[in-house]
Amino acid sequence: MNHYNVKVDAFEGPLDLLLHLINKYEVDIYDIPVSQITDQYLTYIHTMQELELDIASEYLVMAATLLAIKSKTLLPQREEELFEEEHDLEDDPREELVQRLVEYRKYKEAADELKKKESSRSLLYTRPPADVTEYTSEDSNTSIGDVTLYDMLAAFQKMSRRVKEKKPKRTTIKTEEIPIEDRMNEIKQQLRGGGRKRFTDLFTEHEKGPMIVTFLAILELMKTRELSCEQEGNFGEIMIFESERKAME
């Protein structure tokens, strides 16, 4: 099964899968060798089934279409058609599928172009509008104008982006930098001399970083048997205190 190397999630649908096969076997999109491609297509479908993935109905419909085309091409052609090439071309059972594939491929390529545009655009940074309240006197009798729901949502979206942008990256890095040793010492200090503290009270900060550090520090101190903890019953308050061995030192 390995050699199929199926990445189902990499396909955006049956047309995408077909295009993939056409590229992979370097066949001409305008003259698809239906037998070969149908077999390959079915192999993919079977592999998906072997992988126990449910297959979207569109993939099955396409499989049926391919089989129908295949069977048509296998039918012996009638005598008179042999001499009417043009007519023959128009009647090519593959025609409709080819058109769909070509059409789909256009937009797939256009999507790639958009992606390129997106990434070059992402190198340009802007800034939110400056605070102009000092210049304004927003007149109470101006009408709300032709502002639409879309304008309101766009304003909201810009704001959430702006709020996010304001968060300097530095803070994240800084919180990660609290050494566990320091936090261990702080906790030991708090419990020195037989004090008891509720587990939850040790979490003074509510940011993820410090909370994790505190938790790790407690675990570390319990591992080295410097702290013990007690809990009366399920969901009861966990109490943390210096272990007896430590207290006797």
Partner 1 sequence: MTNEEVKSIIESLLFVVGDEGIDLKRLVEAISVEEALVVESINELQTEYADRERGFQIVYLGGSYQLTTNSKNAPYIEKMVEDPKNHSISQAALETLAIIAYKQPITRVEVEEIRGVKTDKPLQTLMSKLLIKEVGRAEKTGRAILYGTTREFLFHFGLSTIEDLPPLPDGQDKGEDDEADLFFEKFQEIPE
The CA angle 151-155-159, to the nearest 5 degrees, is 170
Which structure tokens are listed for 38? Answer: 């149908």
For residue 216, the minimal CB distance to partner 1 (Å) is 25
152 touching partner 1, by CB under 8 A: yes
- Tell me the CA end-to-end span of the chain in Å, nearest whole number: 64
For residue 107, the minimal CB distance to partner 1 (Å) is 5
Among positions 15-34, residues that touch partner 1 (CB under 8 A) are 15-16, 28-31
Contact 41, 21 (CB under 8 A): yes
Which residue from 72, 106, 174, 225 is in contact with partner 1, where contact means CB under 8 A?
106
C-beta of 81 vs 182, nearer to partner 1? 81
Which structure tokens are listed for 142? Answer: 């101006």
C-beta of 121 vs 223, nearer to partner 1? 121
How far apart CA 221 and CA 45 sit, in angstroms, is: 55
How far apart CA 148 and CA 189 sit, in angstroms, is: 59
Binding residues with partner 1: total (CB under 8 A): 90
What are the phi and psi torsion angles at 180 (to 5°)? -60, -35
42 touching partner 1, by CB under 8 A: no
Which positions from 221 to 240 touch partner 1 by CB under 8 A, shown as an x/- string? --------------------
Among positions 186-215, residues that touch partner 1 (CB under 8 A) are none
